[in-house]
Structure 1
Amino acid sequence: MPATHANESRLLIKGATVLTMDPALGDLTTGDILVVGDRISAVGPELSDPAAEVIDARGMIAIPGLIDTHMHAWQTPLKGLHASGWTFDDYQSRVFCLREHFGVEDIHDATLAGSIEMLDAGVTGVLDFCHNVMSPQHAEAALNAHRATGQRTLWAYGMLGDLDGSPQEDGWRLDHIRALREETGDGGLLRIGMALASIERGSMGRIDKEIGLARELGMRMTLHQNPAGQIRALHEAGLLGPDIVPAHANAADDEELELIAACGGGISFTPECEFGGGRSMTVLNRAHRAGVTPSLGIDTPARVPIDLFAAMRLTFLLMRSVDAFDEREAGRYPLTRRPGIPMVEPRHMLEYATVNAARAIGLGDDLGRLAPGQLADIVLVDPEPYGVALGDPAAHVVLRTQPRDVDTVVVGGTVRKRAGSLTDLDRADAGAATRAVRERIFADAGSAPQGVAR
């Protein structure tokens, strides 16, 4: 645990129900959290510190800050464009085709809007998969937006150029990502990662080159894993590792899941977008059973809102549905409880969005739990005015909480939201940024889609 100093900020959260997500500490029915600087100093009952700012959290539930491990923040102003999408071609023709119309200012404003909305919804950390890096200036604009909001971010530099996968485009991106990595280092709220080019759109040689650079620089990686067999292909090429977070992987077979588990890796699932897009959801249960560490993401705001509580809720229901289907198919109906069935409880979903997600972004030793020495990313959920649910408070968080119930958000020891209001950011700025992007890109594209208000 890092040493603390007298001049560091001090924050004391008093009287909450504390879901530490730490096996050694468990839950505290009524507990306090002392934060010194950017880390948690103590967790327990009846803590005191005369020098600390005090937050009265009586009646609230304290959880680690939520972490989204697969988000395209640049698509925030496109919310709703993919609401009725069905096929990948729908996504290409309605959403991704607009990529070339995003200028540098648009990338900044879109990222700013998405980051503000995430913080407001209790999402203190994000793996922002930016596959719209059309120039070095685009990349720097996105980074500046994250710096302005102060969200804990692993910004994944998108290596995807033209959709034909032209290899000649790689050079400047590889040079730029090296420079950015040297500039940002490996600490602080903003870190640089790499969003690998889609395997189906390029050669394995290209992917090998990208992974080689990322590992040379010590960066985390992520990639879209859509067609079947790609996990196996990475393994056979000697490239698969725990520093790569595949997103989706709905088509992965059991052997591929075992390969991920064997190297200590995880998968980012985006249940609302995957389920809404007609993908197979059995991978959720199979991955959990195989020992893969699942985490969750929103994917694109063009389809669904920025709401990780909803993602946790849907994931729980989907996994219960898969269990029930298997039981019925095996002739075990009416349903009965038996060892391992049902597979998950609501608390597992909170683990996906905190402990597992922290591992996915490379901060598993420092984030995702409310325990001494951990980075102080904390969310307070207020169950009032309707009251907390009976039973496990984690079930209240997963099954009954909405973004509007987020009372307090702390990132790195700094209070970013208090009593339901952002402290140093403005929701109106997010709305204005969204409108500004729409006005610019739809004017550039020729016309706004039907139903879009500029």
Structure 2
Amino acid sequence: MRTLITGGIVVSMDPAVGDLARGDVLIEDGVIVEVAARVDAPDAEVIDATGTIVLPGFVDNHRHSWQTAFRGAGADWTFPEWAAAMHGTVKPHYEPEDVYAGTLLGRLEALHSGVTTMLDWYHVAGSHAHEDAAVAALRDAPGRSIFCLGAGWGTPDPVDADLRRVRAELPGDGLVTMAVGLRGPEDTGMAMLARELELAAELGLRTSLHIASDGTRRPIADLREHNLLRDTTTYVHATGITDEELRMLADADASVSISPDVELKMGFGSPMTGRALAAGLRPTLSVDDVPSVAGDMFSTMRTAFAVQRGLDGGLRSRDLLEFTTVDAARSCGLGERAGSLTPGKDADLILLRADDLTVFPVTDPVATVVSAGHPGLVDTVLVAGRVVKRDGVLVDVDLAALRTRLLESRDRIAKAAGVPLDGTWRPRGDQDR
């Protein structure tokens, strides 16, 4: 149970370990035990990392993978159109099998592109069978996943029983764990939000909450007034939030998840990356949904980087890589287990081809990953020391069968919902989300 990754360019994301122009990583029983220029381990299985960049796997702390079947359908949609399409039109036709297929393919896609940890923000609602299908899909994908159970938008009913039921199935000691997807006070009121936060604390679960402002509201200030800001909550998007409110989040030691591609394309406004940093927050990055944007963290980092540099010239490449590794792992409560190549942490790591013509020659590995990286570079992926992708191919995954299942799911839902799949679908954007 010893594995030696040898001869790669090591980007540890741990200041105490540093970066190595040529380094080795020794893994024992799924845990990193040594990172050094040379490691002597004659009894270990060897993974030759020559010609690769070795770095911690990416962490995406906000993605709705149940929507995978409609990849690309919403590239031209505004936010109201997306809400009308995904929540108002197709979601009512989702069966548990559809949730399973979309979640599994979505999680495998993320893994394929180097996302070793992903928080799956579930808000399909439906039934216990739908929830169980999502959990089963995450368990069938060999990644580290967090099932973030949220009620459907606009659902006013208490979710106590659902949270307790699923929590009993996900005690927190495996690769698939649990979080709570909070509904905003605009959906349920402050009293219900307080109740959900109290239950999450009772169950020992972190929480995630979509939040934004159109400039006329002060949602973070309202939450603080009701004593509802928590250091265990990740606030998603936070577009339109004032600098004062961002400082409130920093004072509460909360996290912010920014989805730059979705926020820009759907009309949310500029991503809050630079303003969050200025307020004392460490931003994290997430994909959000693949009907609208690409599902890899390379694209996400590049958009966030370019936008902020265009605004004020701020940020450096390493900032972006920190947002998607150590900072994101911390936001998921996994700072002691993931996010860096640190002895004692779980061996969640990826090997990127450094000899690929799109990145060769690699002069600065961090800058190369952020400015020119793409999923095609992901050669090898390990989760808890287990190789789940080797030589560019996911291990023990029947992709042909899974592709067939997803296409059948998409076509059935589209037919039931009466929507075309020829690129002409333009949903009405006047429905409540």
Q: TM range, normalised to the smaller chain?
A: over 0.9
Q: Does 1:80 align with 2:66?
A: no
Partner of 1:108 in structure 2?
100
Q: Does 1:446 align with 2:432?
A: no
Task: Give 1:233 deviation, angstroms.
Answer: 1.5
Of the three residues 239, 245, 248, the one matched with 1:256 is 245
- Does the aligned pair in 2 maintain the 1:95–1:302 contact within 8 Å? no
Identical amino acids, percent of aligned pairs: 36
Distance in structure 2 (CA, Å) of the matches to 1:134 and 1:229? 32
Task: Give 1:390 deviation, angstroms.
Answer: 4.7
Partner of 1:223 in structure 2?
209
Instruction: Specify the code of the residue in structure 2 equivalent to 1:404.
Output: G
Partner of 1:202 in structure 2?
188
Partner of 1:330 in structure 2?
none
Alpha carbons of structure 1 residues 34 and 390: separation in structure 2 relative to 1, 3 Å? closer
Instruction: Specify the code of the residue in structure 1 equivalent to 2:33.
Output: S
SS in 1 for 2:412: helix
Partner of 1:356 in structure 2?
327
Instruction: Specify the code of the residue in structure 1 equivalent to 2:252.
Output: C
Q: Report the more deviating stretch, 390-399 or 444-453.
A: 444-453
Distance in structure 1 (CA, Å) of the matches to 2:31 and 2:288? 29
Distance in structure 1 (CA, Å) of the matches to 2:65 and 2:71? 11
Distance in structure 1 (CA, Å) of the matches to 2:139 and 2:271? 38
- Does the aligned pair in 2 maintain the 1:114–1:430 contact within 8 Å? no
Post-superposition CA distance 1:205-234 (Å, at most 9, x none) = 111111110011110100111234222221
Task: Give 1:447 deviation, angstroms.
Answer: 4.2
Partner of 2:163 in structure 1?
177
Task: Give 1:450 deviation, angstroms.
Answer: 3.3
Distance in structure 2 (CA, Å) of the matches to 1:388 and 1:15? 17
Post-superposition CA distance 1:119-169 (Å, at most 9, x none) = 1110111111101122111111100000001211111001235x3x43xx2
Of the three residues 371, 377, 386, the one matched with 2:348 is 377
Instruction: Specify the code of the residue in structure 2 equivalent to 1:424.
Output: D
Instruction: Specify the code of the residue in structure 2 equivalent to 1:238.
Output: N
Post-superposition CA distance 1:402-423 (Å, at most 9, x none) = 1011000001110001111111
Distance in structure 1 (CA, Å) of the matches to 2:250 and 2:148? 23
What does 1:271-350 align with in structure 2 at a 5 Å threshold? Answer: 271-281=260-270, 283-323=272-312, 342-350=313-321
Instruction: Specify the code of the residue in structure 1 equivalent to 2:84.
Output: S
- Does the aligned pair in 2 maintain the 1:68–1:126 contact within 8 Å? yes
Instruction: Specify the code of the residue in structure 2 equivalent to 1:104.
Output: P
- Does the aligned pair in 2 maintain the 1:32–1:43 contact within 8 Å? yes
Task: Give 1:430 deviation, angstroms.
Answer: 4.0
Task: Give 1:389 deviation, angstroms.
Answer: 4.4
Distance in structure 1 (CA, Å) of the matches to 2:399 and 2:9? 28
Distance in structure 1 (CA, Å) of the matches to 2:385 and 2:318? 25
Partner of 1:214 in structure 2?
200
Q: Does 1:140 align with 2:112?
A: no
SS in 2 for 1:384: coil
Task: Give 1:58 deviation, angstroms.
Answer: 0.9
SS in 2 for 1:49: coil
Distance in structure 1 (CA, Å) of the matches to 2:401 and 2:300? 26
Partner of 1:34 in structure 2?
26
Distance in structure 1 (CA, Å) of the matches to 2:424 and 2:345? 43
Q: Report the more deviating stretch, 76-85 or 439-448.
A: 439-448
Distance in structure 1 (CA, Å) of the matches to 2:371 and 2:194? 41
Partner of 2:83 in structure 1?
92
Alpha carbons of structure 1 residues 303 and 259: separation in structure 2 relative to 1, 3 Å? same
Partner of 1:71 in structure 2?
63
Post-superposition CA distance 1:290-319 (Å, at most 9, x none) = 121211111011101211101001111111
Q: Does 1:436 align with 2:408?
A: yes
Q: Does 1:45 align with 2:20?
A: no
Task: Give 1:237 deviation, angstroms.
Answer: 1.0
Q: Does 1:269 align with 2:255?
A: no
Distance in structure 1 (CA, Å) of the matches to 2:13 and 2:341? 7
Partner of 2:172 in structure 1?
186
With structure 1 as the length reference, what TM-score do the two structures score?
Answer: 0.89
SS in 1 for 2:118: strand
Task: Give 1:282 deviation, angstroms.
Answer: 5.7
Instruction: Specify the code of the residue in structure 2 equivalent to 1:200.
Output: E
Partner of 1:392 in structure 2?
364
CA RMSD of aligned residues (A): 1.6
Instruction: Specify the code of the residue in structure 2 equivalent to 1:213.
Output: L
Number of equivalent positions: 420
Q: Does 1:426 align with 2:418?
A: no
- Does the aligned pair in 2 maintain the 1:282–1:322 contact within 8 Å? no
SS in 1 for 2:308: helix
Distance in structure 2 (CA, Å) of the matches to 1:433 and 1:400? 33
With structure 2 as the length reference, what TM-score do the two structures score?
Answer: 0.93
- Does the aligned pair in 2 maintain the 1:15–1:31 contact within 8 Å? yes
Task: Give 1:283 deviation, angstroms.
Answer: 2.0
Instruction: Specify the code of the residue in structure 2 equivalent to 1:43.
Output: V
Deviation beyond 4 Å, 4+ runs, structure 1: none
- Does the aligned pair in 1 maintain the 2:210–2:236 contact within 8 Å? yes
Instruction: Specify the code of the residue in structure 2 equivalent to 1:244.
Output: T
